[in-house]
Amino acid sequence: MYTHKRKLGPRAEYREQQGQRVTAAPSLSQKYGKLKSLTVDVGYFAPEGGSQFRQMSYAVNLDHAKSVFRMDCCNDECVQGDYELTEELAKAIAKRAKSVVGELCCHGWQNKASIKTTKCNHVLRYKLKLGY
C-alpha cells in the first residue's frame, strides 16, 4: 500500500518526532503530584559558553507543561539538537531539591549543511526553582 509521506527537512522531521514525545507525555502536575511550583531561569550562550544571546525567566504552568521537558536550541539553524531537562527535573523532584543549577551543551548539528561534520555546541545554563 502506498502511503504518502510528507517531505520534511531533517530539522523539521526531528522537531516533529520530539513534539510527539512531548505531546504523549503526562503534564508535570499529573506526573509529579508533590510539585507545586517551578520557575525556570535560562541563559543561552554561544559554543564554549562565549557570548550570551538571551536570558529568560518564567514560571512554568504545571497543568500545561509536559513532563518531557524540552527547550529549543537558540541556534535557529540547529538540526537534531535542543536541550532536554526531563531527567534533571525527575532527579531534582525525587530528592525534593529546591533549586538546581546546571549547564547543557546542544548535541545537534550546526546547520543543515554541516550534518555529521560540525556540532552545534550552543550552551544552555539553567536554574530551576522548585516548590513543594
Query: By CB under 5 A, is residue 75 in contact with Zn ion?
Result: yes
Query: By CB under 5 A, is residue 120 in contact with Zn ion?
Result: yes
The piece of 4-12, 58-66, 89-97, 98-106 that touches Zn ion (CB under 5 A) is: 98-106
Helix, strand, coil shares of the chain, percent, nearest 5, are 25, 30, 40
Query: By CB under 5 A, is residue 110 in contact with Zn ion?
Result: no
Question: 67 or 75: whose CB is closer to Zn ion?
Answer: 75
Strands 99-105 and 37-45: unpaired
Question: 38 or 123: whose CB is closer to Zn ion?
Answer: 123
How far apart CA 7 and CA 104 sit, in angstroms, is 31
Cell numbers at 116, concatenated? 555529521
The piece of 23-31, 35-43, 45-53, 80-88 that touches Zn ion (CB under 5 A) is: 80-88
CB of 104 to Zn ion, least distance (A): 10
CB of 27 to Zn ion, least distance (A): 26
How far apart CA 33 and CA 61 sit, in angstroms, is 13
Q: Which of 40, 44, 62, 81 binds Zn ion (CB under 5 A)?
A: 81
Contact 120, 106 (CB under 8 A): yes
Residues in the chain: 132
Using CB under 5 A, which residues numbered 12 to 71 contact Zn ion? none
